[in-house]
Amino acid sequence: MKENEINYGINYWVLPGLPQNVFNISMSRIMKTISTYYNIDVEVIKSKTRKREIVQCRHIFYYFSKRLTRHSLASIGDYSAKGWKGDHATAIHGARVAKNLIETDKYYRNDVANIEKLIYNSEAEVTRW
């Protein structure tokens, strides 16, 4: 873990100042926030398409759903799939890809940080590159 990175799963009960609603965020809120940020319909994100911009939205969804909800990986994978089989392996892979991109791509990292602000506060002001 990097110095400036917070692991909510471990530090949630220990560190003061963390959002108290970390585990009260719904998967639908995460999906709608990503959909609004990228201006892509939720149904398109849930579709079977493999277009890069859609797949990256799903990866961000897996990343935040794994971090901010108490849902099982199987239910996260299933929620994101409409008309196709999403499972725990899909969610694990997507969250891992998102984490790797956050560490290596500054534009992707900026987008994820902005989406996180919007998830916690829908009135937050964010700027895209």
Q: Where do the domains of the chain lie?
A: 24-120
Helix axes 52-68, 88-104, angle to 10 degrees: 100
* Pair 128, 117: CB distance under 8 Å: no
* pLDDT reading at 68 higher than 50: yes
Closest CA to 112 of 100, 3, 69: 100
Q: Please give the structure tokens belonging to residue 109.
A: 């990292």
Total H helices, total E strands in the chain: 7, 0
* pLDDT reading at 16 higher than 50: no
* Pair 61, 77: CB distance under 8 Å: no
Instruction: Say how far apart CA 67 and CA 70 lie, in whole Å.
Output: 8
Indicate the pTM of the whole model. 0.78
* pLDDT tens per residue across span 44-59: 999 989 999 999 999 9
For the domain 24-120, what is the CATH superfamily, name and number?
DnaA protein, C-terminal DNA-binding domain (1.10.1750.10)
Instruction: Say how far apart CA 64 and CA 119 lie, in whole Å.
Output: 9
* Residue 86 pLDDT: 76
* pLDDT reading at 63 higher than 70: yes
